[in-house]
C-alpha cells in the first residue's frame, strides 16, 4: 500500500515560504492498494478532498481519475478541492463521492455548498460520471480495500473516521476529532474511546488530527479538534506502528512543527509530521518507508 499526502493543512489553505515544508493545502490523502514492491500505483481511493485534491494531478498526469472520494465530513477544508482537479473531468473519468449519511439525499446536501449563490454549478455538472452516495457506520469493500467507517465526535458536521486495509497493510484516518466530547480521558485531552481504538487497533499508520498542542487545547477546544499529544497517546494505546500528525494548524510554521515533533522525544511509537508531497510505503514488516 502507498499513502500519498496531497494536503495536510487544517481549516484553511495558507501561503508563504514559512509553510512550504509541510504544505499549504488542506486535507487530502490518496491510497493505492496492494503489495507493489516499491512501484507506485495510481491512487483509486481518496480520503477527503480539500484543496490538496488538486495536487493529485502530479501523480495522475494525463490520465483521468477513476476512483472513490471518501469524505470524513462536509466542512469546507475537506470538500473545496472537488471542482478543480482537471483529471476528474477528462474522458474516461469516474468519480464516486461517498459521505457520512446526512438523513437526506447526499447529493442534495452537497449542493448546499456547490450551487449558486455559493458556487456557480452543482456537483452533477462537474463531470458526466460523478455520483454522490451516503453510508452509515459499518464495513465496506471500496476500490479493492476493506473500509471500516465509525462515527467519531467533531463539531458541526457528522464525522466519520476510517480504517482502510488491503489485506497487507492498514491505515486509520481520523483527521477531525474532538475526543473531549466523550470525557477527559487519562490525560485531560480526551477519551480513548471505543470507536477510535477500533479504528486504530494495530494499524501500520494512524493519520490523526493534530491541530493543537496540549497547552493550547483549553482555549481552543471549542473548535472541535485534538491535541497532538492525544494523537500520540491514541497511537500508543491502540498499538499503532506509526502516527502521522495531520491537519496542521494553518498558523503553524514549518519551524514550529519541527520543534513540536522534536519535543515529543521517544513517546513509544514512531511519530512524524505529515507533509504535502510525502508518499509512505506500507507493508514492510520491519519499517514504514517514505519514498
Burial of 34 (0-12, 13-18, 19+ CB in 10 A): middle
Alpha helices in 42-187 (DSSP H): 57-60, 106-110
Domains of the chain and any CATH numbers: 2-290 (3.60.15.10)
Does residue 75 contact residue 225 with C-beta atoms inside 8 Å? Answer: no
Question: Which pLDDT tens digit goes with each residue over 20-75?
Answer: 999 999 999 999 987 555 556 899 999 999 999 999 999 999 999 999 999 999 99
Of the candidates 2, 9, 71, 1, the residue with the CA atom closest to the CA atom of residue 276: 9
Confidence of residue 285 (pLDDT cuts 50, 70, 90): very low
Instruction: Tell me the residue length of the chain.
Output: 291
Q: What is the CA radius of gyration of the chain?
A: 18
Residue 34 has a pLDDT of 72
pTM assigned to the model: 0.95
Q: How does pLDDT run across 137-172, given as a tens digit for each residue?
A: 999 999 999 999 999 999 999 999 999 999 999 999
Q: Determine the Cα–Cα distance for residues 233 and 31; give it in Å rounded to an integer.
A: 25
- Judged on CB neighbours under 10 Å (0-12, 13-18, 19+), 98 is buried
Contact 114, 123 (CB under 8 A): yes
Amino acid at each position: 500500500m502507498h499513502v500519498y499526502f496531497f494536503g495536510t493543512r487544517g481549516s484553511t489553505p495558507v501561503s508563504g515560504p514559512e509553510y512550504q515544508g509541510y504544505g499549504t493545502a488542506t486535507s487530502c490523502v490518496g491510497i493505492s492498494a496492494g503489495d507493489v514492491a516499491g512501484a507506485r500505483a495510481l491512487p483509486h481511493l481518496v480520503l477527503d478532498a480539500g484543496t490538496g485534491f488538486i495536487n493529485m494531478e502530479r501523480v495522475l498526469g494525463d490520465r483521468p481519475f477513476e476512483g472513490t472520494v471518501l469524505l470524513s465530513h462536509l466542512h469546507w477544508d475537506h470538500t473545496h478541492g472537488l471542482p478543480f482537479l482537471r483529471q476528474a473531468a477528462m474522458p474516461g473519468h469516474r468519480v464516486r463521492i461517498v459521505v457520512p449519511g446526512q438523513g437526506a439525499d447526499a447529493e442534495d446536501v452537497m449542493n448546499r455548498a456547490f450551487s449558486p449563490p455559493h458556487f456557480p454549478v452543482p456537483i452533477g455538472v462537474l463531470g458526466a460520471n460523478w455520483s454522490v452516495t451516503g453510508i452509515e457506520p459499518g464495513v465496506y469493500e471500496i476500490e479493492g480495500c476493506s473500509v471500516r467507517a465509525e462515527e467519531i465526535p467533531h463539531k458541526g458536521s457528522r464525522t466519520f473516521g476510517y480504517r482502510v486495509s488491503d489485506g497487507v497493510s492498514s491505515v486509520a484516518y481520523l483527521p477531525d476529532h474532538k475526543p473531549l466530547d466523550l470525557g477527559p480521558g487519562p490525560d485531560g485531552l480526551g477519551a480513548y474511546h471505543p470507536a477510535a481504538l477500533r479504528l486504530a487497533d494495530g494499524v501500520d499508520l494512524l493519520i490523526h488530527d493534530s491541530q493543537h498542542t496540549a497547552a493550547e487545547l483549553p482555549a481552543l477546544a471549542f473548535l472541535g479538534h485534538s491535541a497532538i499529544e492525544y494523537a500520540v497517546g491514541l497511537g500508543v494505546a491502540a498499538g499503532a506502528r506509526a502516527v502521522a500528525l495531520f491537519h496542521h494548524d494553518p498558523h503553524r510554521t514549518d519551524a514550529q512543527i519541527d520543534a513540536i515533533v522534536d519535543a515529543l522525544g521517544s513517546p513509544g511509537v514512531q511519530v512524524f509530521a505529515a507533509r504535502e508531497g510525502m508518499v509512505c510505503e506500507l507493508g514492510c514488516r520491519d519499517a514504514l518507508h517514505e519514498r
